[in-house]
Amino acid sequence: QPVLTQPPSASASLGASVTLSCTLSSGYSNYKVDWYQQRPGKGPRFVMRVDSDGIVGSRGDGIPDRFSVLGSGLSRYLTINNIQEEDESDYHCAADHGTGNTFFVVFGGGTKLTVL
Amino acid sequence: EVQLVESGGGLVQPGGSLRLSCAASGSTLGNSWMHWVRQGPGKGLMWVSRINSYGSSTNYADSVKGRFTISRDNAKNTVYLQMDSLRVEDTAVYYCTRRVDAAMRFWGQGTLVTVSS
């Protein structure tokens, strides 16, 4: 099964840009990854889905176009431009894995983004 | 706008049972896969279970298989998670989420389950 690896923390200054990474384990380069934002004390919110070619489908409701995604090999990236205070959140990546009657969703450990 | 509201959480002793509910408003759940995801204190997200739109197909994480049962009542626009033989490590906020266009696009606010003696 795939393993998704995220750095535990990241930081960026107000108005700057930051790129968060999510790395799939070897052999899963064709997997799509979903990004979720979780503000403090709130439930997760879908941001976007990405594969090795870029965004898949539409972004989540209310997600501004300051958010973008990119995929390359085993890595899936979420970039936030012109960072705002409300972007300070935990960001989780996830991937479906299913063969036959087996299905599950694997989450990365999450990255805590601090806005300086 | 779709709203999902979880309920049924609380404090339970190890070995006990709880039933969580997830009620939807603003849209019918009848044509969507529904999932439960949990988050332990200070931890990341962990997928728990899913059910198809008819209630005829379900999947579970290995850690809850045989102890948890997901079900749904489309007439009541509600999804359930029956949790038996609860363990301390099941302590978490439990979220229900609706899958649309192959992504978990709608989430509830969560309900806290605490398993402790």
Mind listing the pLDDT tens digit for each residue in B26-72? 878 878 999 999 999 999 999 999 999 999 999 999 999 999 999 99
Query: Which phi and psi (to 5°) does residue A25 adopt?
Result: -70, 160
Q: Pick from A46, A106, A107: which is nearest to B105 by CB? A: A46
pLDDT (mean) for A17-23: 98
A-to-B residue pairs, Cβ atoms closer than 8 angstroms: 56
B106: nearest Cα among B51, B26, B49: B26
* φ, ψ (nearest 5 deg) of residue B38: -125, 165
Nearest to A69 by CA among A89, A45, A53: A53
Name the residue with tokens 């979220």: B95
Cα radius of gyration rounded to whole Å, chain B: 13
Residue A111 in this model has a pLDDT that exceeds 80: yes
Average pLDDT over chain A, rounded to whole?
A: 95
Note whether B105 contacts A60, CB cutoff 8 Å.
yes
Q: What pLDDT band is residue B22 in, cutting at 50, 70 and 90?
A: very high
Check whether B1 has a pLDDT greater than 80.
no
Q: Using CB atoms within 10 A of its CB, is residue B13 exposed (0-12), middle (13-18) or buried (19+)?
A: exposed
Chain B residues in contact with A38 by the CB 8 A cut-off are: 45
Burial class (CB in 10 A: 0-12, 13-18, 19+), B95: buried
Option in A44, A45, A102 nearest B45 (CB): A44
Residue A81, burial from CB neighbour count under 10 angstroms (0-12, 13-18, 19+):
middle
Residue B28 confidence (pLDDT): 81
Q: Please check the confidence at residue B5 and state whether its pLDDT lies above 90.
A: yes
Alpha helices by DSSP H, A1-116? none
- Closest chain B residue to A98 measured between Cα atoms? B59
Tokens 């309920």 correspond to B7
Which conformational region is residue B51 in: left (phi greater than 0), alpha (psi within -120 to 50 degrees), or beta? Answer: beta
**Which residue in chain A is spatially nearest to B97 when comparing CA positions?**
A44
Residue-wise pLDDT for B65-114, tens only, equals: 999 999 999 999 999 999 999 999 999 999 999 998 889 999 999 999 99
Q: What are B's interface residues with A at a Cβ cutoff of 8 A?
A: 35, 37, 44-47, 50, 59, 61, 95, 97, 101-110
CB A50, CB A69: distance < 8 Å: yes
Give which of A39, A61, A30 is closest to A113, Cα–Cα: A39
Task: Read off the pLDDT band of B117 (50, 70, 90).
Answer: very high
